[in-house]
């Protein structure tokens, strides 16, 4: 009889700007490991995104290793795959370091020379294989091209992955990257998923996602479940974390003026609300005044005085009339950009300048390029263009473009023609 823990999406190091939330996140991970030890599991499966990024702060790394080693010292084995957050194509990630130090074992074993993934056998007799998560659909293509070593029929086995399954993906996860159930290798007893930040239990197909132990962002904290699975002789139990207590308050500021919104906030201080973390969401368009007229730091301070450990304020959707964001319906990114330029910039030269600058800023990082090199390249190209701003205004750049267009029959494929931004005159 085998007993194991299935943990995913710990995102250690997330909430870098809020030390309290960062600590709650680390504590939740520690609880999952402590409970796994108490419950005497044979091994722990971590289905990716153990860390929030591939090279986290050393204090986070230190805490994580201390926590993981508690389990290791009890003889509990730990198996993991990369998540989309803790993988780096150019450099070794912390996951590689921890694998080298034998803190855990990465269960993504390729048979050299073949595109074949092999099984790792745990001391309990259970075989484990896995596939890492990757950004930009790279893992999706793995599923299509890799040959899996399938478990023997009477072997107990687990497949670990960090990719959404199309048929199980919740509607609110707006991500195209997913694979159909049919892509999963056949014959495993338990499919240990990660990446979807929500608990999913599909007993029929034996596919399970525990969701995060705490969460990595505001939306995660809005959801009401946090925890992990303990699987005892293939019976699945969800261990839910009731603490910390998260309280959600929403204020609709639509049509209010600054004073009225301040009154609504005042009313919050008087009400009896108790909890550890307050998520305060203020949204809507003010009829008069700007969000910047409100001292939100003071709001947070007063709410903390009520006994909250921390207040997470979300006012991304709070707007003033003056600075109301332009809303465009176009689905297609390019069309949307084009309309934004047309609606907000009067001068043709400025539209062209803006479009060119945006093109530079949109350039993606190249494979193998370090973060620093990438930033430097973008800055250099952007500055180069900004220095030519006068040429755009005086029409010099425009003339050059026209000449270039005359000399070349057609634009290279995939490039946006500058003429397209001229407003169709
Ligand atoms: Mn994640």
d(CA 251, CA 315): 10
425 — pLDDT class (breaks 50, 70, 90) = very low
- Residue-wise DSSP of 343-359: HH--SHHHHHHHHHHHH
364 — pLDDT class (breaks 50, 70, 90) = confident
Which DSSP letter does residue 324 get? P
**Domain 3-240 belongs in CATH node 3.40.20.10:** no
Tell me the pLDDT of the chain averaged across its residues. Answer: 84
| pLDDT 10s digits, 176-208 | 678 889 989 989 999 999 999 999 999 999 999
408 CA → ligand 1 middle, Å? 47
Supply the residues annotated as catalytic: 85
212 CA → ligand 1 middle, Å? 7
Q: What is the pLDDT of residue 332?
A: 63
d(CA 60, CA 46): 17
141 CA → ligand 1 middle, Å? 19
d(CA 25, CA 12): 7
Domain with CATH 3.60.21.10 in the chain: 3-240
Which DSSP letter does residue 287 get? S
| pLDDT 10s digits, 286-340 | 998 888 889 999 999 998 888 899 999 988 889 887 655 555 554 566 677 777 8
Name the range with the highest mean pLDDT among 88-92, 155-159, 176-180, 379-383.
155-159
Mean pLDDT over 35-58 rounds to: 93
Mean pLDDT over 394-404 rounds to: 63
| pLDDT 10s digits, 48-78 | 999 998 888 899 999 999 999 999 999 999 9
At a CB cut-off of 8 Å and minimum separation 6, what does 271 contact? none
Task: Please confirm whether the linkage preceding 244 is cis (ω < 30° from 0).
Answer: yes
At a CB cut-off of 8 Å and minimum separation 6, what does 368 contact? 89, 90
Q: Residue 144 — φ and ψ, nearest 5°?
A: -80, -30
- The two tokens of residue 152 are 């023997």
Helix (H, G, I), strand (E, B) or coil at 342: helix
pTM equals 0.74
d(CA 224, CA 156): 33
d(CA 7, CA 211): 8
150 CA → ligand 1 middle, Å? 27
116 CA → ligand 1 middle, Å? 26
Q: Is 129 exposed, middle or buried (0-12, 13-18, 19+ CB in 10 A)?
A: buried
């Amino acid at each position: 009889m085998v007993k194991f823990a299935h943990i995913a999406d710990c995102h250690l190091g997330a909430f870098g700007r809020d030390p309290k939330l960062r600590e709650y996140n680390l504590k939740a991970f520690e609880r999952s490991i402590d409970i796994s030890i108490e419950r005497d599991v044979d091994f722990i499966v971590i289905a990716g995104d153990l860390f929030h990024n591939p090279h986290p702060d050393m204090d986070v790394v230190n805490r994580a290793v201390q926590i993981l080693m508690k389990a290791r010292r009890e003889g509990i084995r730990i198996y993991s795959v990369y998540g989309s957050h803790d993988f780096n194509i150019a450099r070794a990630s912390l996951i590689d370091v921890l694998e080298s130090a034998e803190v855990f074992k990465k269960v993504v074993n390729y048979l050299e020379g073949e595109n074949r993934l092999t099984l790792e056998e745990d001391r309990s007799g259970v075989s484990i294989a896995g596939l890492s998560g990757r950004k930009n659909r790279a893992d999706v293509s793995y599923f299509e091209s890799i040959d899996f070593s399938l478990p023997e029929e009477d072997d107990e086995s687990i497949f670990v992955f960090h990719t959404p399954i199309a048929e199980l993906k919740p509607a609110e996860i707006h991500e195209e990257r997913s694979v159909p159930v049919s892509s999963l290798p056949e014959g495993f007893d338990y499919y240990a998923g990660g990446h979807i930040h929500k608990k999913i239990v599909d007993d029929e197909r034996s596919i399970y996602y525990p969701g995060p132990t705490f969460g990595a962002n505001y939306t995660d904290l809005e959801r009401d479940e946090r925890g992990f699975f303990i699987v005892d002789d293939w019976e699945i139990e969800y261990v839910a974390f009731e603490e910390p207590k998260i309280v959600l308050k929403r204020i609709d500021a639509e049509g209010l003026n600054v004073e009225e919104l301040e009154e609504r906030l005042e009313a919050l201080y008087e009400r009896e609300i108790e909890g550890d973390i307050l998520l305060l969401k203020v949204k809507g368009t003010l009829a008069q005044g700007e969000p910047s007229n409100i001292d939100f730091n003071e709001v947070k301070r007063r709410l903390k005085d009520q006994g909250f450990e921390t207040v997470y304020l979300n006012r991304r959707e709070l707007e003033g009339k003056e600075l109301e964001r332009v809303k465009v319906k176009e689905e297609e990114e390019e069309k949307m950009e084009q309309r934004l330029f047309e609606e907000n910039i009067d001068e043709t030269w400025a539209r062209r300048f803006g479009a060119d600058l945006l093109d530079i800023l949109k350039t993606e990082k190249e494979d193998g390029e370090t973060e620093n090199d990438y930033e430097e390249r973008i800055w250099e190209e952007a500055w180069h263009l900004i220095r030519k701003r006068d040429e755009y205004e005086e029409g010099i750049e425009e003339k050059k473009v026209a000449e270039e267009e005359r000399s070349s029959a057609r634009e290279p494929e995939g490039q946006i023609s500058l003429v397209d931004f001229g407003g169709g005159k």
